[in-house]
Amino acid sequence: MSNWIRSRIFWLAVMLAVLVIALGSVLIPYLISLASADANQPVAPVRTIPHTDVNPFGAGFFLAREVEEWKREETVKMAAEAGIGWAKQQFVWAEIEPQPGAAATEDWGKWDDIVNLCARYNIQVIARLDRAPGWAHPSNPHPGAPPDDFTTYGDFVRRFVQHYRGRVRYIQVWNEPNLSREWGNQPVDPAAYVELLKVAYQAAKSADPNVVILSAPLAITLGEPHPEAGKWSAMNDLQFLEEMYQAGAAAYFDILSVNAFGMDRPPEDPPDPDVLNFQRVTLQRKIMEKHGDGNKAIWFNEYGWNAAPASFPDSKLIWKRVSEEEQAAYTLRGIEMARSQWPWAGVFNIWYFRQVGNIPADDAEYYFRMVDVDFTPRRVYYAVKDAAASLRVAGVGIFEETNPAVTAGQGWRAILDERASGQTYLESETAGTSLTFTFKGSEVDLVTFRDYNGGRLLVTLDGHNVAGLPTDSQGRSYAELFNPDPRWRVQLPLVHGVGSGNHILRLTVSDEPSMMSMGARCVVDAFRVRSAAQPFPTLPVVLLGLGIVVVGGLLRREVQLRRRYG
């Protein structure tokens, strides 16, 4: 009798253990999903100001000065590996158009090579257009002089935009016009610069309405009077910007460019009109908002701290100095602070990535570099590389198509439209054109535009069809963008119920649009990511719970019998 009872106790104990393990295997995934749900996840700030939901990491480059092609390639390659998404590059008008109208017919040579090289590494170019050719300013021989007739600059800008349409989308009009050396060694003139900006803006938009115009960054300065009474060789940047707005500048740029050097102060150092520091940019921002221009982004044209050695002569420290450790830390802290506190902050072009050897070590500018001439990375390079990696995966929140988690292949057109989320979107009708969105979450919606010309986007998740979406004649899952009535900012559910971890969502323009559609237009406006808890597994929990109660009761009974009968 006792042997029989012991055997029953053993098998009932085994059954109870199996049921408990099974219940745990059901509940643990649910509890994990509950812990990672939206309420417990940091939500990325919604960047509603146009041109702010972008990769913040850019840098200044001197690619046009590099003679050897392999060095140019290595420079851009290292920048891409560090997560740099923007190349601020000067395009010298005098070299492109040495004679009137030459740019319309001559080979653009090295400039095309630079643009194509950056495109291969998925780095967008911000083109600074200045340095007028001598024939354009015969009245002033200074190389920094503006043209005598501003329409000649407008004509050049128009040809530039036409030549690089779809390849260079961001144009900076001139550079530091509040310094006399950048304005023909003559007194600076905010109203005259605004007229130049107006001519360039109108010319660029006539060539491509979707090109984005950046104002010239202003040198941060407390001012330096000109020998002529009442005029300035270097006008205080705050005063110059105020006078730009008074002259009507707001209508003629899409993004305000600024220079932001930290000098010898940390990024947390508060703004003061009498102090040059990183947060001086907030004083420029107040001027923008005063003139009702608060819905524009600010991009940082030259940003950073100088890390000259302690032995460097104080008299040559134009930008003051910090240690290399501080340079790296301050660079990241400034960007992190701006992205969390300033919804208008966009790209930070770190000054500078690498020079070609023409800046000597006895010049303070030498010590801004991220990478040495011989391609040795400095501390700031590694700091940026580590920080940029985390931006390539979107968490919970709403992300524009310009976010660094989105990688768009060739064939997409960037369109400016006030009706779109962030006032921009990507579109394509070309079959096979694709992009990827890397995210961490359980649900993804596509924000898009649907109308009677809407096509279809093929959708894969981690290389596989997406459950719950319709499939076409070839068995491919897709999202339908056709709708008889035009509708903006439509949220189409694409993914739901996926597990934790990083995922790659790929959208590809289909070669099988809807039979009802009059076209194949596909619009990608934004993405929304959520992290929702899995539904509570009621039925398995109830059944397993009942099993545990029954088996546990039987086991208890058998134990009592064994005690009674020994």
Please identify, among 390, 410, 433, the residue that sits at the C-terminal boundary of a domain: 390
CA distance 507 to 456: 9
Please identify, among 390, 413, 442, the residue that sits at the C-terminal boundary of a domain: 390
Number of domain units in the chain: 3
Report yes or no on 63 lying in a domain.
Answer: yes
Cross-strand bridge partners of residue 100? none
**124 and 267, same domain (yes or no):** yes
The pTM of this model reads 0.87
Print the domain residue range for 403.
38-47+397-530
**194 and 121, same domain (yes or no):** yes
**417 and 270, same domain (yes or no):** no
**270 and 349, same domain (yes or no):** yes
- Within a 10 A sphere around the Cβ of 554, how many other Cβ atoms? 15
CA distance 146 to 173: 11
- Note the pLDDT of residue 113: 96
From residue 459, alpha-carbon distances to 128, 383, 396 in Å are: 38, 35, 20
From the list 468, 461, 411, the residue with the least C-alpha distance to 438 is: 461
Please identify, among 359, 390, 421, the residue that sits at the C-terminal boundary of a domain: 390
Question: Euclidean distance between the first and final Cα of the chain, in Å?
Answer: 9
**351 and 460, same domain (yes or no):** no
| Angle CA 191–193–197, to nearest 5 | 115
Report yes or no on 151 lying in a domain.
Answer: yes
From residue 314, alpha-carbon distances to 308, 358, 362 in Å are: 10, 22, 12
CA distance 377 to 392: 22
Please tell me which residue, 367 or 23, carries the higher pLDDT value. Answer: 367
**386 and 401, same domain (yes or no):** no
Q: What is the pLDDT of residues 63-107, one digit of tens each?
A: 999 999 999 999 999 999 999 999 999 999 999 999 887 655 566
Cross-strand bridge partners of residue 350? 59, 303
Q: DSSP letter at 364?
A: G
Q: What is the pLDDT of residues 465-497, one digit of tens each?
A: 999 999 999 999 999 999 999 999 999 999 998
CA distance 288 to 273: 15
- Note the pLDDT of residue 414: 96
Q: What is the pLDDT of residues 276-312, one digit of tens each?
A: 999 999 999 999 999 999 999 999 999 999 999 999 9
**475 and 543, same domain (yes or no):** no
- Note the pLDDT of residue 515: 87
190-207 and 237-246 helices cross at what angle (nearest 10)?
60
**Phi/psi of residue 387, each to 5°?**
-70, -40
Report yes or no on 52 lying in a domain.
Answer: no
- Note the pLDDT of residue 48: 86
CATH classification of the domain holding 415: 2.60.120.260
**319 and 300, same domain (yes or no):** yes
Q: What is the pLDDT of residues 306-331, one digit of tens each?
A: 999 999 999 999 999 999 999 999 99
Residue 328 contacts residue 368 (beta carbons within 8 Å): no
Report yes or no on 440 lying in a domain.
Answer: yes
**369 and 408, same domain (yes or no):** no
Report yes or no on 220 lying in a domain.
Answer: yes
Q: What is the chain's alpha carbon radius of gyration, rounded to the nearest angstrom?
A: 30
Q: What is the pLDDT of residues 345-401, one digit of tens each?
A: 999 999 999 999 999 999 999 999 999 999 999 999 999 999 999 999 999 999 999
- Within a 10 A sphere around the Cβ of 473, how many other Cβ atoms? 6
Average pLDDT value over all residues in the chain: 91
CA distance 150 to 432: 43
**225 and 124, same domain (yes or no):** yes
CATH classification of the domain holding 255: 3.20.20.80
Report yes or no on 206 lying in a domain.
Answer: yes
Report CA 109 to chain centroid distance, whole Å: 29
**pLDDT tops 80 at residue 538:** no
Cross-strand bridge partners of residue 471? 477
Q: How confident is the model at residue 20 (pLDDT cuts 50, 70, 90)?
A: low
**525 and 545, same domain (yes or no):** no
**426 and 550, same domain (yes or no):** no
From residue 370, alpha-carbon distances to 55, 313, 335, 359, 376 in Å are: 18, 22, 16, 14, 9
Q: How confident is the model at residue 336 (pLDDT cuts 50, 70, 90)?
A: very high
Report yes or no on 456 lying in a domain.
Answer: yes
324-341 and 379-390 helices cross at what angle (nearest 10)?
30
